[in-house]
Amino acid sequence: MSAGGAFGGSRGSRPVPPEKGVFPLDHMHECDLEKKEYLSCLKTAGHNSGKCKEFSKKYLQCRMEKNLMAKQDMSELGFRKELETETSEGTENDK
């Protein structure tokens, strides 16, 4: 018989939560509309998440507003600032 806990962990040690990737479930369905829009976009875009970035941003913003995840700057989550996006799009169109 082993002295370890379930799934190979040792008993008595404190679990360390991950920094990102795990956050409370939306049990009250507060962001269902945003989630459904994002999933629908993924389905129509052939699961290409790059084409659905505005929907994923909207979903994450909803989660932050409802305290379902920690508030962070969107640039930390992989979204460029809107001013930078407009500037880069303007320079591409000029070429």
Residue 58: pLDDT band with limits 50, 70, 90: very high
Mean pLDDT of the 46-63 span: 94
Looking at residue 93, what DSSP letter applies? H
The pTM assigned to this predicted structure is 0.62
Q: What is the pLDDT of residues 18-44, one digit of tens each?
A: 566 566 788 899 999 999 999 999 999
The SS3 of residue 10 is strand
Asked if residue 76 lies in contact with residue 82, where contact means CB atoms within 8 angstroms, the answer is no
Phi-psi region of 8 (alpha: psi -120 to 50; beta: other; left: phi over 0): left
Task: State the alpha helices, DSSP H only, in 3-81.
Answer: 32-44, 53-65
Asked if residue 32 lies in contact with residue 26, where contact means CB atoms within 8 angstroms, the answer is yes
Mean pLDDT of the 12-19 span: 65
The pLDDT of residue 41: 97
Instruction: Please identify which residue in the block is written with the tokens 């505005």.
Output: 54
